[in-house]
Chains A and B, each alone.
Chain A
């Protein structure tokens, strides 16, 4: 049975480091990599009537934008590493979604990147790392 490594990716140097780490590890261990991009989404946020009306169209847009501007360039840059790479784009809470996907895919570990830089993105990533440390169903590697 092929071993799966789930890697959380968003377009940042930390995200790229996490993917590089995962691909190298997969090469060494003969695993496959599942790259996950999570779009932050809470079913409990509040929307105006217009936003509700446009939501379905927006969702389609967001998904295709995530594919063309985030996932596709990443796959291109990875080139042919000889490792089997799958991708998925999901909506939800980042840590919860990564955990859920890891369980679904029977993954052996979750890999995410950590940014040492200040700013909203790094704070977000920090909290994801924290949440995964608390709740991940499989071992979790945080790439510095």
Chain B
């Protein structure tokens, strides 16, 4: 069934390619790209400006400081609460009478399908391609610390959601910024909430949409040959449209079922490649540690590696960004803390496990070219030279191909499905922000959904550079607002946590299994 769809898709592409004149199509792509780069450049520059006199972007510092603060404030909750989080997901504490409600496992799986995706495959390749293997070290560190940020925001997301008479809920940073600030008697909650909602819409259109469409196109083009991106864009847009506007739940349901399977298969393939190259694992880990503190010749030295690692981790697991708080807030639970604890597993699975696999495979299969004389990486135009001259998802694909020749086909399918499920998730996040700003209502929702579909086409047609810059910038802008809120609201989370833990110890919170 899946294969048939793919074959049909490929068939449709080839047909369209013949029909359209290559020259004209290329100029459409170019125009889209030019306009896009021009209109978003200032925003990107603002978010990624460095601390004066350094090359260290302030936004990266912002995220790291936040993750550190939350880690310390909650006394390493990501390690203390890890075991309990697993029991929660297993359903050990779920009341059988609540069967039929969304389980912790389902909430985690759905939130993960929004974050596991291209960030893990393409994003990591970008990080390692620019920052070298050392970026992996900083990425893992950022993933571990990010678990505390995620815990904080998801607890708040559940605590301050809006519940409506029909039983549906809306939640996320917009709501905890407004209601939480009001509860603490702080001013400015509403302003922050509106800002967050605006950035969330941009993030949904950028990282949650254009970046996905762009990389999916690159994957398909890598297999069937180069063709104009807008064609992929239109096809993707139509399918997304069918799901989010047409309510074709069946497509979404199929993806939701295939995505976890793809994730497991991806990790399994990575482990196989690592096992086959077991003699090089020690060397690869050495490269990661050496690179983390010396840079091994990459642009910007070890700071360059650090920036890349932190950036990609944040982009991949979205800790501190606030998106996960939207996803988790819909879950019905008596204890907001339980949702926070479950959510801290996300950065772990996403970054510490899956991203690390990608990085190790790229390093271990020797895709990055090393100057034999110095042992440093050969840098060409800011990027490390690779065997096939590829970057982004192409680099990951080449790395897997060097070990398993047919894997690029599986990877292409995985990328397309990941891209699709991430788009569906982000269309929901964007929609929640949109309805927060403009109010609930069928027509208002359709307007956003149509805009969302238009951006699919733009994303597929634009070059990777401007798309990735804008995507990062929008998502980090969300983090700026969200984290300000988290600082003010973290005492509330602490109170909840203390109360929950004492009731857990006293046996008031019962284990059912």
Interface contact A53-B101, CB-CB below 8 Å: no
User: Which one of A27-35, A40-48, A74-82 is at the B interface?
Assistant: A40-48
Residue of B nearest to A100 (CB): B96
Q: Is B4 an interface residue (CB 8 A)?
A: no
**B332 to A55, Cβ gap below 8 A?**
yes
Cβ–Cβ < 8 Å partners of B429 in chain A: 49
CB distance from B192 to the nearest CB of A (A): 23
Given A52-B330, A53-B330, A54-B168, are A46 and B257 also a contact pair (CB < 8 Å)?
A: yes
Determine the residue in chain B with the shortest Cβ distance to A97.
B99
The answer for the CA separation of A48 and B260 in the assembled complex, in Å, is: 13
Contact pick for A57, options B103, B168, B327, B331, CB 8 Å: B168
When C-beta atoms are compared, the residue in chain A nearest to B257 turns out to be A46
A65 CB within 8 Å of chain B? no
Task: For residue A132, give the distance in angstroms from its CB to the closest CB of chain B.
Answer: 18
Binding-face segment, B108-116, B268-276, B277-285, B311-319:
B108-116
Which of A50, A55, A100 makes the CB contact (< 8 A) with B101? A55
The answer, among A41, A48, A55, A91, for a CB contact under 8 Å with B249, is: A48
Q: With a CB–CB cut-off of 8 A, which chain B residues contact A46?
A: 106, 109-110, 113, 253, 256-257, 259-260
Look across to chain A and name the residue whose beta carbon is closest to the beta carbon of B328. A52
A39, A43, A100: the one within 8 Å of B106 (CB): A43
A17 lies within 8 A of chain B by Cβ: no
- For A39, the chain B residues whose CB sits under 8 A away are 100
B155 at the interface (CB under 8 A from A): no
Interface centre among B91, B106, B107, B170 (most CB of A within 10 A): B106
Could you mark each residue 106-136 of chain B with 1 if its beta carbon is under 8 Å from any beta carbon of chain A, else 0?
A: 1101100110000000000000000000000
Instruction: Give the shortest distance, in Å, between A61 (CB) and chain B (any CB).
Output: 9
Contacts of A100 in B (CB 8 A): 96
**A residues in contact with B167, CB < 8 Å:** 54, 56-57, 60
B112 to chain A, nearest CB (A): 10
B166 within 8 A of A: yes
- Given A41-B100, A43-B99, A59-B101; A49-B166 close (CB under 8 Å): no
Contact of B107 among A41, A52, A62 (CB under 8 A): A52
| Known contacts A44-B106, A49-B114, A49-B330; is-contact A56 B101 (Cβ 8 Å) | yes
Question: At the interface, yes or no: B105 with Cβ under 8 Å from chain A?
Answer: yes
Residues of B304-356 contacting chain A, CB below 8 A: 327, 330-332
* A residues in contact with B114, CB < 8 Å: 49
Chain A min CB distance to B98 (Å): 9
A11 contacts the other chain (Cβ, under 8 Å)?
no
Contact of B428 with A by CB under 8 A: yes
Interface residues of B in 142-190 (CB under 8 A from A): 166-170
Assess the B106–A49 pair: CB atoms within 8 A: no
Q: In the complex the two chains form, is B106's CB within 8 Å of A48's CB?
A: no
CB within 8 Å of B: which residues of A?
Answer: 39, 41, 43-57, 59-60, 62-63, 90-92, 100
Ordered by A's residue number, 8 sampled pairs between the chains whose C-beta atoms are within 8 Å are A45-B106, A48-B424, A49-B114, A52-B107, A55-B332, A56-B101, A57-B167, A92-B99
